[in-house]
Every structure is written in structure tokens, then in C-alpha cells.
Amino acid sequence: MPNWNSILREIFLEQARDNSSAHDRVRQKYLKRLVKHTGRNVIAYYSGFLSKPNIEGIQITDEDKNGFMLGIHGLDRKKGLDLILHTPGGDGKATEALVDYLRSMFGKDIRAIVPQIAMSAGTMIACSCKSIVMGKQSSLGPVDPQFGPISAVGLLTEVKRAFSEIMADGRAALFWGPILSQIHPSFLQRCEEAVKSSNQFISRTLSENMFSDMPATERDEKLARSSALLSNVVDGKAHNTHFQIEDCREAGLNVERLEDDQKLQDLVLTIHHCYMHSLSNTPAFKIIENQLGRAMVKLQQLLMQGPMMGIQMPDQPRRMSDPPPPATGSEAQENK
């Protein structure tokens, strides 16, 4: 299996031959090998949040659907979809809309593959699939709505604690008063609605796909266990809590072990290395790409060097790698 260093050497060799698209060519080489092994379509959704944090748009947003529309166009949807996920999460409502779109294209025949991390809203996407492929190094996370740096569950928990302490001893109001005065009642309501909505989505999406073929009693029991794991309402888990493969299997999620298919493991981890090198060593901070080479790549804003140092380059929101020819009228209707 090509490892981290051997993939980097392969990229360097490609750059020596043709520097213009070395990272793209190496990624495509292994994506095609994965499709040959599985017989399924593949779309990789990769965020550079580990190497380039705090970039606007690095999380899941409504704009990402454009990348998936590009990636799905032209695929034989009867072959299903393997969705490789590496993301810290993002907008919950954008995630729900994306899941609905993917379901409208592939029905229930979607499998999530998590080489390393799919947190928060990324976990929501994974749970909407028929199964999740995880290795010993893979992690999911709590489905905890965030408002910027503020955890909705954390804020609600703190307000409940304040109420209890004040009711037990009125003098506690001297401490809590200045804190609570900074929280607008409407914001509390938004937090409550966001938590309720995310938990309802997890229950609904698991019922509609992953647990859909189970008897009602078994489905309800697994829904209770999985919801208890994924929601941090139950025991106040931190937003960055990592759930490993055994945690997810014990909670009832349909998780396939990556290590059970050695060829699949080799290909998935090689592809993961390819994307991590692309995100670390190029201006790209988000890549949505299929096995046909159709990709939407979000690029980091750069500063020009040399004589024009200090002049900021204009935004380059996306780059198409080997874009398809313009769609005909019938092709344009196919993907609607």
C-alpha cells in the first residue's frame, strides 16, 4: 500500500513531468482504482480544516451542493454512490438539504466512507447513508449545533444550571445576573430549536435508510442507543468528542470495518493521503470530486510575491479540473 511518504514522492515525480496538475492526476489515478474495485460511483468531499483552519467556507455550506451537482452529472446512478467524507461539519440546514438532494439522486444506495474524521454535520451525512465504512483511525462526533464558537447545548445547559442555583439560593443571582443579561431570549429559543431539529434529523434519517429494513422493536432500540451516543444532550459531551468504530458499532450504527477488505483499506487510505497532500501543499481548502475528474475546488486567497508584494490576488472561489463539455438540453434536465 502506498503510504504518506510514497504518495508524496509520486506527486513530486508527476510535478517533474508536468507541474500544472500533478496532485489532480495522482488523486484521479487512485479514485479510478477504487471504482474498479467496488463497481460503484465515488465522490470525495474533503475539507482542509486540519491544515487551514478558520477559512470562511471550510465547513459545510449551501454552496457545496453545486460541487455535488457537478460531481453527479454524467454518473450512472444505478451503480450507487460511495461518499468519502472528511469534514469538521458545518451548517445543519445546508447539510439536511444536501442529504435530501443525494437521496433524490441515489435513493438509499449511498455508503459513507470515513478515512479519518467526519464530525458534527459530517456525522449527520454519514448517518443518512445505508452504511458507514470506518477504520481503527476513523471518528464520528456529536451532532451539536453551533452558533459561531457557541455550543447550543452548552449554552442551554449553563442556563439551566444558573436557574437551579438561583432557585436554591437567591444570592447566586449576584454571580449569574451579569452573565444571563448578555443572553437574548430569542437566542435561547434559536438554540432550543436547533438542538431539537438536529436530533429529529438523526432519528428520521436513520429510520429512513440505515434502520429502514429492521423490525419496529429493533429499530426503536437502535434509535435510542444511537441517539444517546450522537447527541450531547444526554451527558454533556464536548463538541470535539471523537467516537471510534467500536463506539459506533455498540450504539447500533451499521458500520463496516475497513480492515475487513484489505484492498479497500489500501485504496481508501491512499486516496486519503492524496487529498491531505493536495490540501496541505496547494491553495485548495475544499475539494468535491468524482472518479471522472469533475471537481469543484475552493482556493485560498493568496498574496502575490516579488515586485507586487502586498497586492492581494482576487478570490478564486473554484477551479474545475477537466470540466465536462457544455450539457445539452436533455443532459441539463437529467440532473434536476
The pLDDT assigned to 236 comes to 55
Helix (H, G, I), strand (E, B) or coil at 43: strand
pLDDT at 13: 77
C-alpha cell at 194: 436547533
Euclidean distance between CA atoms 128 and 121, whole angstroms: 11
Instruction: Answer whether residue 130 shows pLDDT above 50.
Output: yes
Phi and psi at residue 76, to the nearest 5°? -80, 100
Closest to 261 measured CA to CA, from 79, 109, 40: 40
What is the dotted CATH code of the domain comprising 4-141+242-334? 3.90.226
pLDDT at 238: 67
Q: Per-residue confidence at 17, pLDDT binned at 50, 70, 90?
A: confident
Q: Is 214 exposed, middle or buried (0-12, 13-18, 19+ CB in 10 A)?
A: middle
Phi, psi (degrees; rounded to nearest 5) at 170: -60, -25
Residue 229's nearest CA partner among 245, 251, 200 is 251
pLDDT at 123 over 70: yes
Q: Which helix (H) or strand (E) holds 136?
A: none
Given a cut of 60, whether residue 302 has pLDDT beyond it is: no
In this prediction, residue 19 carries a pLDDT of 66
Q: Give the mean model confidence (pLDDT) for residues 227-232.
A: 81
Residues contacting residue 245 through CB under 8 Å, at least 6 positions apart: 134, 135, 136, 138, 255, 257
Q: Where are the domains of the chain?
A: 4-141+242-334, 145-233
Strands (E), 119-168: 131-134, 139-140, 146-147, 150-151
Q: How far is CA 114 from CA 3, 103, 226, 265, 324, in A?
A: 17, 19, 18, 11, 28
Whether the pLDDT of residue 169 is over 70: the answer is yes
Largest CA distance in the chain: 74
The answer, yes or no, to whether residue 152 has pLDDT greater than 90, is no
Amino acid at 110: I
DSSP3 helix / strand / coil % (the chain, rounded to 5): 50, 15, 30
Instruction: Give 227's pLDDT tier (boundaries 50, 70, 90).
Output: confident
Secondary structure (3-state) at 320: strand
Rounded Cα distance between 152 and 268, Å, is 34
The model's pLDDT over 31-72, given as tens digits with 9 standing for 90+, comes to: 999 999 999 999 999 999 999 988 989 999 999 999 999 999
